[in-house]
Amino acid sequence: MMRLLLLSILLILRHLESAPSRDHRGEVTENFTSSQLSVRLSLSERSFKEGDRVPLTVQISNLGIEPVRFFPSNLSHETYQIFLEDKDHRLVAAKEESFPFSGLKRRNHIEDIAGIHKKEVILHKGEHFSRTFYLDELFQIRGPGEYLAKVFFFPNAKESKDFFLRSENQPIFFLEPRGRSRELSQSLSPMGDEVGVTPEEVIFLFLGSELKKNWESHFKWIDFSEYILSYDKYSASYSNANPGEKSLILEDFRKFLSEGPSGQLKFYKVLSVDYPSSKDAKVQVYIERSMQRYTQRYEYTYTLKKIENATQWKIQNLYVKVRK
Protein backbone atom coordinates (compact mmCIF):
# COMPACT_ATOMS: atom_id res chain seq x y z
CA MET A 1 0.00 0.00 0.00
CA MET A 2 2.81 2.36 0.95
CA ARG A 3 4.57 1.56 -2.31
CA LEU A 4 1.46 2.48 -4.32
CA LEU A 5 1.14 5.76 -2.40
CA LEU A 6 4.77 6.69 -3.09
CA LEU A 7 4.36 5.83 -6.76
CA SER A 8 1.26 8.05 -6.99
CA ILE A 9 3.10 10.95 -5.37
CA LEU A 10 6.01 10.59 -7.80
CA LEU A 11 3.64 10.57 -10.78
CA ILE A 12 1.88 13.71 -9.53
CA LEU A 13 5.20 15.51 -9.01
CA ARG A 14 6.39 14.55 -12.48
CA HIS A 15 3.13 15.82 -13.95
CA LEU A 16 3.51 19.13 -12.12
CA GLU A 17 7.08 19.54 -13.38
CA SER A 18 6.02 18.91 -16.99
CA ALA A 19 3.07 21.33 -16.82
CA PRO A 20 3.77 24.69 -18.42
CA SER A 21 4.29 27.66 -16.11
CA ARG A 22 1.54 30.27 -16.05
CA ASP A 23 1.61 33.96 -15.24
CA HIS A 24 -0.80 35.59 -12.79
CA ARG A 25 -3.43 35.85 -15.55
CA GLY A 26 -3.31 32.12 -16.16
CA GLU A 27 -1.63 32.48 -19.57
CA VAL A 28 0.57 29.58 -20.71
CA THR A 29 2.91 31.93 -22.55
CA GLU A 30 5.69 29.59 -23.61
CA ASN A 31 3.60 26.70 -24.91
CA PHE A 32 0.23 28.14 -25.90
CA THR A 33 1.24 31.41 -27.54
CA SER A 34 4.14 30.02 -29.57
CA SER A 35 1.97 27.29 -31.08
CA GLN A 36 -0.69 29.70 -32.33
CA LEU A 37 0.83 33.10 -33.05
CA SER A 38 2.56 33.98 -36.30
CA VAL A 39 4.80 37.06 -36.75
CA ARG A 40 5.34 38.34 -40.29
CA LEU A 41 6.93 41.52 -41.63
CA SER A 42 6.12 43.58 -44.70
CA LEU A 43 7.53 46.65 -46.44
CA SER A 44 5.52 49.08 -48.52
CA GLU A 45 8.21 48.97 -51.23
CA ARG A 46 11.35 47.01 -52.08
CA SER A 47 13.34 50.06 -53.18
CA PHE A 48 13.63 53.47 -51.51
CA LYS A 49 15.59 56.68 -52.11
CA GLU A 50 17.84 58.25 -49.48
CA GLY A 51 15.67 60.38 -47.20
CA ASP A 52 12.48 58.39 -47.87
CA ARG A 53 10.32 57.04 -45.08
CA VAL A 54 10.89 53.28 -44.75
CA PRO A 55 7.79 51.78 -43.07
CA LEU A 56 8.04 48.27 -41.67
CA THR A 57 4.76 46.62 -40.64
CA VAL A 58 4.78 43.88 -38.00
CA GLN A 59 1.69 41.66 -38.22
CA ILE A 60 0.73 39.29 -35.41
CA SER A 61 -1.77 36.61 -36.48
CA ASN A 62 -3.64 33.94 -34.58
CA LEU A 63 -3.41 30.80 -36.70
CA GLY A 64 -4.83 28.53 -34.00
CA ILE A 65 -8.33 27.78 -32.81
CA GLU A 66 -8.37 29.28 -29.32
CA PRO A 67 -8.20 33.01 -28.45
CA VAL A 68 -4.70 34.23 -27.58
CA ARG A 69 -3.76 37.16 -25.33
CA PHE A 70 -0.57 39.14 -25.37
CA PHE A 71 0.47 42.14 -23.34
CA PRO A 72 2.44 44.89 -25.09
CA SER A 73 4.82 46.84 -22.92
CA ASN A 74 4.51 50.60 -22.34
CA LEU A 75 7.93 50.74 -24.01
CA SER A 76 7.27 49.49 -27.50
CA HIS A 77 10.88 48.43 -28.10
CA GLU A 78 10.53 45.89 -25.27
CA THR A 79 7.70 44.13 -27.11
CA TYR A 80 9.08 44.62 -30.64
CA GLN A 81 12.85 44.25 -30.81
CA ILE A 82 13.75 45.30 -34.36
CA PHE A 83 17.10 44.55 -35.98
CA LEU A 84 18.45 45.93 -39.25
CA GLU A 85 21.42 44.38 -41.07
CA ASP A 86 23.37 45.48 -44.12
CA LYS A 87 24.30 43.15 -46.99
CA ASP A 88 27.33 41.88 -45.03
CA HIS A 89 25.05 40.93 -42.09
CA ARG A 90 26.44 43.70 -39.88
CA LEU A 91 23.94 45.24 -37.50
CA VAL A 92 22.98 48.83 -38.24
CA ALA A 93 23.22 50.99 -35.10
CA ALA A 94 19.94 52.21 -33.62
CA LYS A 95 19.34 55.87 -32.92
CA GLU A 96 19.27 56.67 -29.22
CA GLU A 97 15.77 57.04 -27.78
CA SER A 98 14.39 56.88 -31.29
CA PHE A 99 11.64 54.31 -30.79
CA PRO A 100 8.21 55.91 -30.99
CA PHE A 101 5.77 55.74 -28.09
CA SER A 102 8.58 54.93 -25.67
CA GLY A 103 7.50 57.32 -22.93
CA LEU A 104 6.04 55.83 -19.75
CA LYS A 105 2.30 56.40 -19.53
CA ARG A 106 -0.12 55.48 -16.81
CA ARG A 107 -2.86 53.24 -18.16
CA ASN A 108 -5.68 51.60 -16.25
CA HIS A 109 -7.95 50.49 -19.07
CA ILE A 110 -7.96 48.29 -22.16
CA GLU A 111 -8.20 50.27 -25.38
CA ASP A 112 -9.96 49.24 -28.56
CA ILE A 113 -7.85 47.15 -30.96
CA ALA A 114 -7.66 50.14 -33.31
CA GLY A 115 -5.68 52.08 -30.71
CA ILE A 116 -1.90 52.25 -30.68
CA HIS A 117 -1.24 51.59 -26.98
CA LYS A 118 -2.60 48.40 -25.49
CA LYS A 119 -2.69 46.96 -22.02
CA GLU A 120 -3.96 43.66 -23.37
CA VAL A 121 -4.66 42.39 -26.89
CA ILE A 122 -6.94 39.42 -27.53
CA LEU A 123 -6.78 37.74 -30.92
CA HIS A 124 -9.42 35.21 -31.89
CA LYS A 125 -9.01 32.61 -34.63
CA GLY A 126 -7.95 34.25 -37.90
CA GLU A 127 -7.57 37.74 -36.42
CA HIS A 128 -4.52 39.98 -36.94
CA PHE A 129 -2.87 42.83 -35.09
CA SER A 130 -0.28 45.06 -36.72
CA ARG A 131 2.10 47.87 -35.84
CA THR A 132 4.10 50.02 -38.25
CA PHE A 133 7.57 51.34 -37.47
CA TYR A 134 9.72 53.66 -39.57
CA LEU A 135 13.21 52.21 -39.97
CA ASP A 136 14.65 55.57 -41.05
CA GLU A 137 13.65 56.97 -37.64
CA LEU A 138 14.93 54.01 -35.65
CA PHE A 139 18.32 53.34 -37.24
CA GLN A 140 21.41 55.21 -38.38
CA ILE A 141 21.20 54.05 -41.98
CA ARG A 142 24.48 55.04 -43.62
CA GLY A 143 24.10 55.51 -47.34
CA PRO A 144 22.82 53.39 -50.22
CA GLY A 145 22.85 49.63 -50.13
CA GLU A 146 20.89 46.49 -49.36
CA TYR A 147 19.30 46.05 -45.95
CA LEU A 148 17.51 43.22 -44.16
CA ALA A 149 15.00 43.60 -41.30
CA LYS A 150 13.97 41.10 -38.64
CA VAL A 151 11.96 41.32 -35.43
CA PHE A 152 11.84 39.48 -32.11
CA PHE A 153 8.32 39.74 -30.65
CA PHE A 154 7.88 39.44 -26.86
CA PRO A 155 4.20 38.62 -26.10
CA ASN A 156 4.63 39.41 -22.41
CA ALA A 157 7.88 41.32 -22.01
CA LYS A 158 7.22 42.33 -18.39
CA GLU A 159 6.63 38.86 -17.00
CA SER A 160 8.28 36.51 -19.53
CA LYS A 161 11.41 38.34 -20.60
CA ASP A 162 13.08 35.21 -21.93
CA PHE A 163 10.27 34.15 -24.25
CA PHE A 164 9.95 35.64 -27.73
CA LEU A 165 8.88 34.75 -31.28
CA ARG A 166 11.10 35.39 -34.29
CA SER A 167 9.56 36.91 -37.39
CA GLU A 168 8.90 34.18 -39.94
CA ASN A 169 10.35 36.27 -42.77
CA GLN A 170 13.18 38.79 -43.09
CA PRO A 171 12.30 41.28 -45.84
CA ILE A 172 15.06 42.95 -47.85
CA PHE A 173 14.94 46.49 -49.20
CA PHE A 174 17.31 48.57 -51.31
CA LEU A 175 18.28 52.16 -50.57
CA GLU A 176 19.34 54.11 -53.65
CA PRO A 177 21.05 57.50 -53.93
CA ARG A 178 18.69 60.44 -54.13
CA GLY A 179 18.37 61.75 -57.68
CA ARG A 180 19.49 58.50 -59.31
CA SER A 181 16.77 56.73 -61.23
CA ARG A 182 16.78 53.15 -62.47
CA GLU A 183 13.57 53.70 -64.40
CA LEU A 184 13.60 53.35 -68.13
CA SER A 185 13.62 56.41 -70.32
CA GLN A 186 10.20 57.75 -71.19
CA SER A 187 11.26 57.68 -74.83
CA LEU A 188 10.92 53.90 -74.88
CA SER A 189 7.65 52.56 -76.17
CA PRO A 190 5.76 50.00 -74.01
CA MET A 191 7.17 47.21 -76.16
CA GLY A 192 10.66 48.64 -76.19
CA ASP A 193 12.43 50.21 -79.16
CA GLU A 194 14.53 48.01 -81.38
CA VAL A 195 17.41 50.48 -81.43
CA GLY A 196 19.36 51.79 -78.48
CA VAL A 197 18.00 49.44 -75.78
CA THR A 198 20.80 48.46 -73.40
CA PRO A 199 21.14 44.97 -71.87
CA GLU A 200 19.97 46.36 -68.51
CA GLU A 201 16.87 47.83 -70.16
CA VAL A 202 16.22 44.54 -71.96
CA ILE A 203 16.07 42.76 -68.61
CA PHE A 204 13.79 45.45 -67.16
CA LEU A 205 11.42 45.02 -70.11
CA PHE A 206 11.75 41.22 -70.06
CA LEU A 207 10.91 40.82 -66.35
CA GLY A 208 8.40 43.66 -66.36
CA SER A 209 6.41 41.91 -69.07
CA GLU A 210 6.47 38.69 -67.03
CA LEU A 211 5.18 40.63 -64.02
CA LYS A 212 2.29 41.88 -66.16
CA LYS A 213 1.91 38.48 -67.89
CA ASN A 214 2.45 40.14 -71.27
CA TRP A 215 3.99 37.06 -72.86
CA GLU A 216 4.23 38.51 -76.37
CA SER A 217 6.58 41.19 -75.07
CA HIS A 218 8.33 38.74 -72.76
CA PHE A 219 9.21 36.26 -75.49
CA LYS A 220 10.38 39.04 -77.80
CA TRP A 221 13.70 39.34 -75.95
CA ILE A 222 14.61 35.63 -75.98
CA ASP A 223 16.85 33.79 -78.41
CA PHE A 224 14.95 30.52 -77.97
CA SER A 225 17.44 28.35 -79.85
CA GLU A 226 20.01 29.10 -77.11
CA TYR A 227 17.82 29.93 -74.09
CA ILE A 228 16.04 26.55 -74.10
CA LEU A 229 19.39 24.86 -73.47
CA SER A 230 19.45 26.43 -69.98
CA TYR A 231 16.58 24.14 -68.96
CA ASP A 232 17.51 20.49 -68.40
CA LYS A 233 13.91 19.43 -68.99
CA TYR A 234 14.13 20.54 -72.64
CA SER A 235 17.81 20.82 -73.59
CA ALA A 236 18.49 17.17 -74.51
CA SER A 237 15.26 16.61 -76.48
CA TYR A 238 15.67 19.92 -78.34
CA SER A 239 19.30 19.26 -79.26
CA ASN A 240 18.48 15.82 -80.69
CA ALA A 241 15.26 16.80 -82.48
CA ASN A 242 14.80 17.36 -86.22
CA PRO A 243 13.61 20.81 -87.44
CA GLY A 244 9.95 19.83 -87.40
CA GLU A 245 10.12 18.46 -83.88
CA LYS A 246 12.03 21.52 -82.63
CA SER A 247 9.15 23.85 -83.44
CA LEU A 248 6.78 21.67 -81.37
CA ILE A 249 9.26 21.55 -78.48
CA LEU A 250 9.66 25.35 -78.57
CA GLU A 251 5.89 25.77 -78.50
CA ASP A 252 5.69 23.58 -75.41
CA PHE A 253 8.64 25.48 -73.87
CA ARG A 254 6.83 28.82 -74.28
CA LYS A 255 3.78 27.37 -72.56
CA PHE A 256 6.01 26.05 -69.79
CA LEU A 257 7.54 29.51 -69.19
CA SER A 258 4.15 31.22 -69.12
CA GLU A 259 2.94 28.85 -66.39
CA GLY A 260 5.58 30.19 -63.96
CA PRO A 261 7.34 26.93 -63.03
CA SER A 262 9.54 28.72 -60.45
CA GLY A 263 6.69 30.61 -58.81
CA GLN A 264 5.08 33.99 -59.32
CA LEU A 265 7.46 36.90 -59.86
CA LYS A 266 7.01 39.50 -57.11
CA PHE A 267 10.07 41.74 -57.28
CA TYR A 268 13.25 42.18 -59.32
CA LYS A 269 16.21 44.53 -59.29
CA VAL A 270 19.24 44.72 -61.58
CA LEU A 271 22.40 44.46 -59.48
CA SER A 272 25.17 44.71 -62.06
CA VAL A 273 25.98 44.67 -65.78
CA ASP A 274 29.26 43.35 -67.21
CA TYR A 275 30.51 43.41 -70.80
CA PRO A 276 32.96 40.56 -71.56
CA SER A 277 33.07 41.91 -75.13
CA SER A 278 31.33 44.51 -77.28
CA LYS A 279 28.78 41.89 -78.32
CA ASP A 280 28.32 40.07 -75.02
CA ALA A 281 26.77 41.17 -71.72
CA LYS A 282 26.01 39.58 -68.37
CA VAL A 283 23.24 41.08 -66.22
CA GLN A 284 22.94 40.03 -62.58
CA VAL A 285 19.47 40.41 -61.07
CA TYR A 286 18.00 39.98 -57.59
CA ILE A 287 14.65 38.13 -57.85
CA GLU A 288 11.86 37.36 -55.40
CA ARG A 289 9.26 34.73 -56.28
CA SER A 290 6.37 33.35 -54.26
CA MET A 291 5.05 29.81 -54.36
CA GLN A 292 2.46 28.40 -51.97
CA ARG A 293 2.65 31.54 -49.78
CA TYR A 294 6.44 31.25 -49.37
CA THR A 295 8.90 33.78 -50.76
CA GLN A 296 12.11 32.50 -52.32
CA ARG A 297 15.04 34.77 -53.21
CA TYR A 298 17.37 34.18 -56.16
CA GLU A 299 20.26 35.69 -58.04
CA TYR A 300 19.77 35.37 -61.79
CA THR A 301 22.61 35.90 -64.23
CA TYR A 302 21.39 36.51 -67.78
CA THR A 303 23.77 36.23 -70.73
CA LEU A 304 22.85 38.47 -73.65
CA LYS A 305 24.32 38.67 -77.12
CA LYS A 306 24.04 41.44 -79.67
CA ILE A 307 22.47 40.20 -82.87
CA GLU A 308 24.77 40.29 -85.89
CA ASN A 309 24.32 43.41 -88.07
CA ALA A 310 21.87 44.90 -85.54
CA THR A 311 21.86 46.77 -82.27
CA GLN A 312 19.27 44.62 -80.51
CA TRP A 313 20.28 42.38 -77.59
CA LYS A 314 18.80 38.91 -77.08
CA ILE A 315 18.81 36.75 -73.96
CA GLN A 316 20.68 33.51 -74.65
CA ASN A 317 21.40 31.91 -71.30
CA LEU A 318 20.29 31.91 -67.68
CA TYR A 319 22.13 30.84 -64.52
CA VAL A 320 20.13 30.70 -61.27
CA LYS A 321 21.47 30.69 -57.72
CA VAL A 322 19.30 30.43 -54.60
CA ARG A 323 19.98 33.31 -52.24
CA LYS A 324 19.88 32.61 -48.51
What residue ranges of the chain have pLDDT lower than 50? Answer: 15-30, 99-117, 180-195
Amino acid in the structure at residue 90: R
Burial of 300 (0-12, 13-18, 19+ CB in 10 A): buried
Instruction: Output the pLDDT for position 32.
Output: 57
For 191-237, the DSSP string reads T--SSS--HHHHHHHHHHHHHTT-HHHHHHTB-HHHHGGG-HHHHHH
Q: Measuring CA to CA, which residue among 152, 149, 150 is closest to residue 160? A: 152
Domains of the chain and any CATH numbers: 30-103+113-176 (2.60.40.2970), 199-323 (3.10.450.50)
Instruction: Output the pLDDT for position 4.
Output: 60
Instruction: Output the pLDDT for position 244.
Output: 75
Q: Is 289 helix (H, G, I), strand (E, B) or coil?
A: strand
Instruction: Output the pLDDT for position 101.
Output: 40
Q: How far apart are CA 19 and CA 25, in angstroms?
A: 16
Instruction: Output the pLDDT for position 23.
Output: 45
Instruction: Output the pLDDT for position 281.
Output: 92
